[in-house]
Structure 1
C-alpha cells in the first residue's frame, strides 16, 4: 500500500506540472481573447514560474537513464565472486545479477533496466571485508531482487531525477521542495521495510553473525576509504602518477594501527548515526537490534568464512582501478611518491590550519596555535559544526582529530622546509619524519597530547624545540 502511495506521489509531481502549466496557460489564453492583456501576462508569467520548472525537469529526466558504471567484474575475470553470487542467489530463491560492477563508493546496490539486473559493489567493501561478511552484503542485495524492489527502478530513477532537479535547480517558490519532502517521507517508510526484508534474506543466506558484522563494518570502512583518498590517493593526483592503488588500500587496512582504529570507531559510529523519518535506511544500530530480536543466538558460534574478500579482486586491471578514483599518469611506487609530492601535500594541509588561525585571530604560526590550545581555544580553530545533529562530544572529538592532523602537518612542513627531516610514507599515519640521526618521528603522535590536554602544551613545545622547530 505504501509503495503504491509513493508511486502516486511521484506521479502527482508530473500531474502537478501539467496542471500548473496547462491550467494557468489556458486561463491566460482566455484573458488574452477577452483583451485583458495585463491579466493574461500575469497568468502567463505564473504559468512559466510555477509550471515551467517541473516541465523542464521532466524533459531532462526523460533523457536520463541509469547506466552501469565502474569496473565490469565478469565471470571470466572474477569467477570466484560469481560463484559466491550464484550460490547465494539459489539460497535466496531469486535470479542473480546479469552484470556486476566495482564502484568507488563505500556502498552496494542493485537496480534493473529492461529485465537486466545490475549489482554494484563498493571497492572498500570487497577490499575490507571477510568473505563471510561480503556474502552477507551480496545476500542482502539479492534480497531486493527477490522482494521485487527493483522492478520499477527505471521509472523511479527518472522520477527522482525530475523531482530533485525541480526542487533544487528550478524551484523558485518552494512548492516543489515541499513535494520532494512529501515523497521522501512516504517512500522512506516503504524503503525501510525493504531493508528489513533484505536483512532477513541476508541472515537466512549468509548467517546472523556475518550479517551483523558486515552491517557494523560499513561505517568504519567508509571512513577508512575517505581517509585513504584524502591523504594517500591525493598524493597520486598531485603528482600525476599512478601507484599500486589496490595494494595501497590493503596496506592501509592491514596496518595494526588502522585495525585498532576501525575496531574502536565501529560501535561509536553505530551509536552516533543520526536518524530521521526521511531516511530510506534505518540506522545500523536499529537493524542490528532487529536481527538480534528476530534471530536470537542459539548458543553455538556460527561459522563465518574469515578469509579476506580481497582475493576476489584478483584479475582487476590496475589501470581500471586508477580510472575509478580519477588517477592517471605513469606508474610509480608509493615510496617514490611520498618523496615527490609529500612535502606539497603537507604544505597544503598546514596552510589550512594557518588560514584558520588568521580567520580566528589566533595567528598563523605554530607558536600561536600552541598558545591558543594552551588557553583552551581549540574550537576557535574549527568553527561551528555544519551538522547540527551532532552531540557536543562528537563535535569535540572531530575538532581534536582535525586539529591533530593539521598541526602534525604544520610541524612536518617546518622541519622538511628547513631540511631538518625527510618524509617517509606511513600507512598508520600518513608520514614518518626521518631525522638526520635516523630517528623516526610521527608528527600526529607528537602533537596529539597538546590538542587533547591544554596542560600538556608546554611538554609538547619542549619536544618540538628539541627537534629544531622554530617560531614557538
Structure 2
C-alpha cells in the first residue's frame, strides 16, 4: 500500500479571526491566573495582618485574631506550589529502530515537513489509543528534535490515511503553539483545582470565593483547549480530507474504552506476571461476544457513558464530527489496519515489547498463559501461609466469606495502608478469590483463559468459576454439598 498523499483542502474553521480569538482568550486566561494568585496573596496578607495589628497596637491577641491567623495558615497551605519547580528526570522511552520502521518514520517526517517542521524524529509506541508530539529545543529555543508517541491500537484499527490524520492533528497542535501553552494550562488547572479541594468545607468558608473564581478559570481554559482541538482537526482535514479525519476520530472513540480495559485488566497484568502474550490476538478474543467479568464491563461502560462536562478539555465526538462536516453524525466505520508501516502484526508487537526486558518475559500463547505463568505464581503465593490450600479445606470458604472485614488484619499488605473500608474489603475478597483458584489447582483443575471473562477452571467434565463460588458464599447460598463435586477421589497434588 502506498503512502497517502498530502493534499490541500480548504480550511474548515481555521481562519485569522479564529486564531485571534484564541489568542485573546489565552491572554485573558493568563490575566485570570495572575488575578487568582494576587487575590489569594492579598487575602493571606490581610488575614495575617489582623493578629499582627491586635498584638502590635492593642498589646493583646483576641479570639478574632487567632481565628484569622489560623485561617491565613489554612489558605497559605492550600495555595502551596505543587510540582511547578520539580526537576525530576524522566526515563526516556525506547525508540523504534529507524531501519525496521522506515515507512513509519518517512510518513511522520513527510507530514511534519508539510506542517513546516524539519527536525530529527524519534518514535515510540504508547499503550493508549492516542498520540502526542513533544519538542526538544536547544539553548536558544530552536527546534532540535521531535519525540512522537503513537498508540499501539491505532495500527490495528486505522488505515494509513486515517493514522496520518492523527499525526497531522498533533502537528496542528504544534504549529498553533499549543504544545507550549498546554503544559502551563495543565499545571495551572491542577494547582487551582487542588487549592479549591484543600479549602473545600473549611471552617472559615474560604472556599466559596476561590471556588467561584477557580470554576471561572477552569471553564475558560476548557474553552481554549476545546478550540485548539477544533483547530487541529481542521489541519488534519486540510491535509488528508474530511472523511479520513472524521473516520479516525470515530474509530478512536469507539475502540478506546475496550482497549483501555484490555490493557488494564488483561494485557498489563499478563506482562507484569512475566508473560509475553500475543497482543492483537488477545484483543480480538477480548472483543468476542460473551459476558465480560464485572470489573471489565464496569470499566468499559463507565468510559462509554461518561457525559460531557463544561470543564472537559476535548469537545465531544459529535461536536468534532459536526465541525468537520456540518450536520454529520458519527457512523463508526469498520476497522482497517496499517501494521505494514512496522512490517506486519508480529513486528508491530515486537516493537511494543522492546519497552520491556526480554529476559523477564516468557513468550506464551493465551491458551498456555494460565497453566505456564498464572498457576505457578498463584501457587507460590499461598504456599506455607495460613491459607495454604494443602492445610485449609475449601469448605472453609463458607466461613471466611461471612465476614471478610474480620480478615483484614490477617491479609493486610505490608506497610502503612490508607485504604478505605470498601478498599479493605475488596483487597480481602480479591485474596479469597485467588485462594479459591489455588485450592482448585490442588484438586487437579487447570485454568482456561478467555481474555475479558472470569477465570474458569476445568477438570475433565467439571468446571468452576472462582468468582461465582465467592459470590455464592458472600450471599450465604454456598453449601458444603455443592463443594463436594470439586473433591477428587484422592488428593491430586499440583505439578
- Global fold match (TM > 0.5): yes
Q: 1:121 aligns with which of 150, 162, 169?
A: 150
231, 240, 245: which one aligns with 2:266: 231
SS of structure 1 residue aligned to 2:360: coil
Match of 1:276 in 2: 309
Distance 1:412 1:131, change over 3 A: farther
Partners of 1:440 and 1:199 in 2: CA distance: 55
**SS, match of residue 152 in structure 1:** helix
Match of 2:39 among 16, 24, 31: 16
> 2:191 corresponds to which residue?
162
Match of 1:423? 447
| TM-score, length basis structure 1 | 0.63
1:311 corresponds to 2:347: no
Instruction: Give the corresponding residue for 1:206.
Output: 240
The residue aligned with 1:57 is 81
1:442/1:182 Cα in 2 relative to 1: closer, same or farther (>3 Å)? farther
234 and 268 in structure 1: CA distance in 2 versus 1, 3 angstrom threshold: closer
CA distance in 2, matches of 1:356, 1:232: 31
How far is 1:221 from its partner?
A: 3.6
Query: What pairs with 1:282-361 in structure 2 (closer than 5 Å)?
Result: 282-293=315-326, 306-308=337-339, 311=342, 320-322=354-356, 330-335=360-365, 337-343=369-375
Q: Which residue of 2 aligns with 1:401?
A: none
SS of structure 2 residue aligned to 1:151: helix
Show the counterpart of 1:44.
Answer: 69
| 3-state DSSP of counterpart to 2:132 | strand
CA distance in 1, matches of 2:353, 2:131: 22
Tell me the CA shift for residue 167 of structure 1: 3.2
Report the 3-state secondary structure (helix = DSSP H, G, I; strand = E; otherwise coil) of the residue aligned with 1:109.
strand
Cα deviation, residue 209, structure 1 = 3.2
Cα offsets for 1:108-131 (capped at 9, x unmatched)? 234557545544333333455443
CA shift for structure 1 position 15: 1.8
Separation in structure 1 between the aligned mates of residue 136 and residue 213 of structure 2, nearest angstrom: 26
- Whole-angstrom CA distance in 1 between matches of 2:236 and 2:91: 24
Q: Deviations over 1:270-306 (max 9, x none)?
A: 984511111111122332233232899xxxxx9x984
- Between the aligned partners of 2:225 and 2:463, the Cα distance in structure 1 is 50
Three-state SS of the structure 2 residue aligned to 1:102 is strand
Q: Distance in 1 between matches of 2:162 and 2:434?
A: 36
What's 1:248 paired with? 278
Q: CA deviation at 1:49?
A: 1.6
Partner of 2:407: none
CA distance in 1, matches of 2:321, 2:398: 43
CA RMSD of aligned residues (A): 5.1
Higher relative CO (CA 8 A, sep ≥ 6), structure 1 or 2?
2
Matched residue SS, 2:225: helix
Contact preservation (8 Å) 1:106, 1:218: yes
For residues 355-381 of structure 1, give each alpha carbon's deviation from its aligned partner in whole angstroms, at most 9, with x where no partner exists. Answer: 998589xxxxxxxxxxxxxxxxxxxxx
- More displaced 10-residue stretch of structure 1: 25-34 or 11-20: 25-34
CA contact (8 A) 1:62 1:158 kept: no
Aligned to 1:388: none
Q: Secondary structure at the match of 2:150?
A: strand
Unmatched tracts of structure 1, length 5 or more: 297-301, 361-407, 448-464
Q: Rg: which structure is higher?
A: 2
Q: 1:201 offset after TM fit, Å?
A: 1.5
2:48 corresponds in structure 1 to: 25
Using the TM superposition, give the Cα deviation of residue 185 of structure 1 relative to its aligned residue in structure 2, in angstroms.
Answer: 0.9
Task: Structure 2: give runs of 5+ residues left out of the alignment.
Answer: 1-23, 291-296, 383-396, 405-432, 469-481, 488-495
CA distance in 1, matches of 2:243, 2:135: 29
Q: Note closer, same or farther for the CA distance 1:76–1:168 as it changes in structure 2 (3 Å cut).
A: farther
Deviation of 1:440 after TM superposition, in Å, equals 11
Shifted more, 199-208 versus 98-107: the winner is 98-107
